[in-house]
Amino acid sequence: MHISGRIFGFIAVILGLASVYLSAKAMGVRQAWMEKAQKNEEDLKKKQQLAIDARAERDKKRAEYVRAIVGWDRFYEGPNVQAGIDQDGGVLVDGVGTANGVRQEDVIYVFIPGQDAATSTFLGAFKVTEAADARVRGRPHWRVRQGDLAPTNQKFLARVRTLVPPRYQAELASLDQQLLVVEQSYTNAVADKDFLAQLQDRTNLLIADRNKELNGDPDLADHEVPDVYKVGLLASIAKEEEVRNAALLEGDQLLRRLLKTRQTLESLIDSNRELTKTLPQPPATPATVGVNSR
């Protein structure tokens, strides 16, 4: 073979080996890129799902926020919104009135702001009885109890709401009902206590009367009444028992004397009988004729 053919064959072999190596290398690179692309696709799907979940959670929280805002409705506060409690237990609020949409017969909820903006104290719900442009007067819209409202000498900053969520209204109604039950229970307990005290007094009087009947009443010592009222039943019974015992003892002694007398009498009778036997006997009388003839 010509030398050029040999060179060409050698080059062909080298090129074939190089092509096989490069093909394998290209396949490896392609496989690596495919795996990376598949992994990226899976990561993308996970991130898309996380984004979907995050948007759903955001929408849920936004809906809850909207419901909460709608439930609480509008509120009014600031340095010009001040409230005070009058002597009749009503509330007078400045800074809120018909200009804010509050009308007579509406119910407003008054809060006392705390030292920080996140806290407040609920004063109560008040039904508007008078409404002016920037002032309202209201009466408590619940069963007022002692200590609920104390008259104030000066006004204080207030936060006024025209609505609270229904669940809080239900909770307030439930608490008011529970307090009513507790008050009724307390009233019944006080009545029972008073009745028991009266019953105890009557019992003590009856016990004192029975003690006087049993032991006597010293206050009757100078009164003309039977002795049983003076010394008591126990002493009278004891005295009667002593008299009875003395009578029984005397009767027993008399019976013993009677028995002894009877025994003496029987002994005398027996002696007389014996003496009678020692006396001389009278002679026998003869039989009559008439009797013998028969």
pLDDT tens per residue across span 144-184 = 887 788 888 788 999 998 888 777 878 888 888 888 888 88
| Cα of 36 vs its chain's centroid, Å | 69
pLDDT of residue 286: 60
Residue spans of beta strands (DSSP E) within 71-207: 75-76, 82-85, 91-94, 107-113, 120-131, 135-140, 156-157, 159-161
CA dist list (Å): 162 to 73, 132, 168: 7, 16, 13
Q: Which amino acid is at 129?
A: T
Percentage with pLDDT > 90 across the chain: 19
For 154, residues 6+ apart whose C-beta sits below 8 A from its C-beta are 84
The neighbouring-strand residues paired with 121 are: 112
Kindly provide the b/e burial profile for residues 246-275, where b requires at least 16 CB atoms within 10 angstroms of the residue's own CB: eeeeeeeeeeeeeeeeeeeeeeeeeeeeee
Count the Cβ atoms, other than its own, within 10 Å of residue 164. 19
Mean pLDDT, residues 33-41 taken together: 84
pLDDT of residue 293: 44
| Cα–Cα–Cα angle for 275, 280, 284, rounded to 5 degrees | 130
Rounded-to-integer distance, Cα 251 and Cα 245, Å: 10
pLDDT of residue 229: 67
Rounded-to-integer distance, Cα 192 and Cα 186, Å: 10
Beta strands 91-94; 75-76: pairing state: unpaired
Model confidence pTM above 0.85: no
Residue 105, pLDDT > 70, answer yes
pLDDT tens per residue across span 4-31 = 667 767 677 777 777 777 777 777 777 8
Rounded-to-integer distance, Cα 155 and Cα 85, Å: 8
Rounded-to-integer distance, Cα 34 and Cα 21, Å: 20
pLDDT of residue 273: 83
Mean pLDDT, residues 99-119 taken together: 88
pLDDT of residue 291: 46
pLDDT of residue 140: 92
Mean confidence (pLDDT) of the chain: 82
pLDDT tens per residue across span 70-100 = 666 678 888 999 999 988 888 999 999 999 8
pLDDT of residue 70: 63
pLDDT tens per residue across span 198-256 = 989 888 888 887 777 767 777 766 777 677 666 776 777 878 888 888 889 989 899 99
Q: Could you tell me if 120 and 112 are in contact, meaning their C-beta atoms sit under 8 angstroms apart?
A: yes
pLDDT of residue 292: 47
Rounded-to-integer distance, Cα 129 and Cα 148, Å: 20
Q: Could you tell me if 136 and 97 are in contact, meaning their C-beta atoms sit under 8 angstroms apart?
A: yes
Rounded-to-integer distance, Cα 114 and Cα 155, Å: 15
